[in-house]
């Protein structure tokens, strides 16, 4: 569920001004509240999960039909019974977007609550929470039924160019494409393979800072994927690249993402 720039595209769909305006219909006001209704495979697991995250249970019913409702601040989530044969591991039940002002703060709070409840932050399988990188614009909470609740920074860029920006070329474009695979498609494995291939193809001709950024990104991805076989090799290669002070700061910022990810995964204090 990429949905980049969803807020921008939602404007101008027939409601203009506080009273709805032209196209809205008589008496229609643009002050709606939308609440997603998601499939629930297990009421017990869903109740336990959202309670552990600090959500209030505003409605709970199992007969004659299942219906659950949760609230956390302005976030409302409702659940009904999943269809027969529904498999949460497929993660194709549904989801919703939650637009926020400070996505990093939401990730910090939800991660801390999940770790407190579970003793760790699950990052694989169902349920889980995806990692957050400094400067990123979104993360996803996957509930026990495989639904995706995606928290998105309000000012997130509205356009995505899969494969990297057409204004870039070579390794720079691959870095941009890997960023989209990693942060928007949530496919670390694809980003890792894409960058490794691009570094082989374009590394010799790329500027030093691009080679360094690619190596640093691969180190962070190796932590996320628990693929440490070549990490020492990439770290040593980084040390041989001559960079300016500003370029070094950029690379060090990327390496801090790997360090922060290791601490977040382990739960060790900084």
144 and 248 share a domain?
Answer: no
So what's the pLDDT on residue 22?
57
Task: Read off φ and ψ for residue 71, nearest 5 degrees.
Answer: -145, 135
- On whether the pTM is more than 0.75, the answer is yes
Predicted pLDDT of residue 4: 47
Are residues 56 and 148 both part of a single domain? Answer: yes
Its domain, for residue 62, covers 35-153
Residues 94 and 131 in one domain: yes
Q: How is residue 92 annotated by DSSP?
A: -
What's the rounded Cα separation, in Å, for the pair 43 and 63?
12
pLDDT band at 12 (very low <50, low <70, confident <90, very high): very low
Residue whose entry in the numeric block shows the structure tokens 């027939």? 14
Number of neighbouring beta carbons within 10 Å of residue 189: 13
Do 103 and 204 share a structural domain?
no
- In the prediction, which pLDDT does 77 show? 98
Q: pLDDT for 197-254, tens place per residue? A: 999 999 999 999 999 999 999 999 999 998 888 888 899 999 999 999 999 999 999 9
What per-residue confidence (pLDDT) applies to 262? Answer: 87
Do both 147 and 205 map to the same domain?
Answer: no
Is it the case that residue 8 has pLDDT exceeding 80? no
Judged by DSSP in three states, 213 sits in helix
pLDDT, tens digit (0-9, with 9 covering 90-100), for 159-197: 778 888 989 999 999 999 999 999 988 899 999 999 999
* Burial track 205-227 (b if 16+ CB lie within 10 A, e otherwise): ebeebbbbbbbbbbbbbbbbeee
DSSP structure string for 117-139: HHSS---SSSSEE----TT--EE
| Cα distance between residue 108 and residue 262, in whole Å | 15
Query: What per-residue confidence (pLDDT) applies to 265?
Result: 83
Structure tokens at 208: 């030093």
Same domain for 118 and 52: yes
Q: Is residue 159 one of the residues assigned to a domain?
A: no
Same domain membership, residue 194 and residue 143:
no
- Both 101 and 178 in one domain: the answer is no
Residue 10 domain-assigned?
no
Sheet with 138-142, strands from edge to edge, namely: 95-100, 148-153, 138-142, 128-129
Residue whose structure tokens are 């990439």: 234
Domain annotation covers residue 76: yes
Query: Is residue 80, in this structure, part of any structural domain at all?
Result: yes
What are the backbone dihedrals phi and psi of residue 37, each rounded to the nearest 5 degrees, phi first? -110, 110
For Cα atoms 161, 257, 54, give the angle at the middle one, nearest 5 degrees.
Answer: 90
Residue with tokens 């999943």: 82
Categorize the per-residue pLDDT at 15 as very low, low, confident or very high, splitting at 50, 70 and 90.
very low
Q: Could you tell me if residue 105 is inside a domain? A: yes
pLDDT tens digit string along 124-161? 899 999 999 888 999 999 999 999 999 999 989 877 78
Please return the burial class of 177, using the count of CB atoms within 10 Å of its CB with bins 0-12, 13-18 and 19+: buried
Q: Of 94, 126, 153, at which residue does a domain stop?
A: 153
Q: Over 70: is that where the pLDDT of 9 sits?
A: no
How many angstroms separate the CA atoms of 137 and 103, rounded?
7
Task: Tell me the CATH number at 63.
Answer: 3.10.180.10
Task: For residue range 86-129, list pLDDT tens digits in order.
Answer: 999 999 889 999 999 999 999 999 999 999 998 889 888 999 99
Residue 24 has a pLDDT of 64
Q: Does 42 share its domain with 147? A: yes
**Above 50 in pLDDT, residue 42?**
yes
């Amino acid at each position: 569920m990429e949905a980049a720039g969803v807020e921008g595209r939602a404007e101008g769909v027939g409601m203009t001004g506080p009273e709805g305006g032209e196209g809205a219909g008589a008496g229609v006001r643009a002050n709606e509240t939308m609440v997603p209704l998601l499939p629930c495979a297990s009421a017990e697991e869903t109740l336990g999960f959202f309670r552990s995250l600090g959500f209030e249970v505003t409605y709970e019913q199992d007969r004659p039909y299942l219906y659950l409702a949760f609230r956390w601040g302005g976030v409302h989530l409702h659940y009904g019974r999943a269809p027969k044969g529904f498999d949460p591991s497929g993660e194709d039940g549904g989801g919703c977007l939650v637009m926020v002002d400070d996505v990093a703060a939401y990730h910090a709070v939800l991660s801390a609550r999940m770790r407190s409840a579970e003793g760790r932050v699950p990052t694989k399988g169902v349920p889980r929470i995806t990692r957050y990188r400094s400067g990123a614009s979104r993360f996803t909470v996957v509930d026990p039924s495989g639904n995706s609740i995606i928290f998105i920074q309000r000012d997130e860029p509205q356009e995505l160019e899969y494969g990297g920006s057409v204004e870039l070329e070579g390794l720079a474009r691959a870095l941009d494409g890997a960023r989209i695979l990693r942060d928007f498609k949530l496919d670390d494995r694809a980003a890792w393979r894409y960058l490794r291939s691009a570094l082989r193809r374009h590394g010799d001709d790329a500027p030093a800072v691009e080679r360094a950024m690619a190596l640093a990104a691969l180190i962070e991805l190796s932590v996320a994927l628990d693929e440490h076989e070549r990490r020492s090799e990439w770290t040593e290669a980084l040390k041989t690249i001559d960079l300016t002070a500003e370029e070094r700061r950029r690379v060090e910022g990327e390496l801090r993402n790997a360090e922060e990810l290791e601490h977040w995964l382990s739960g060790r204090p900084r």
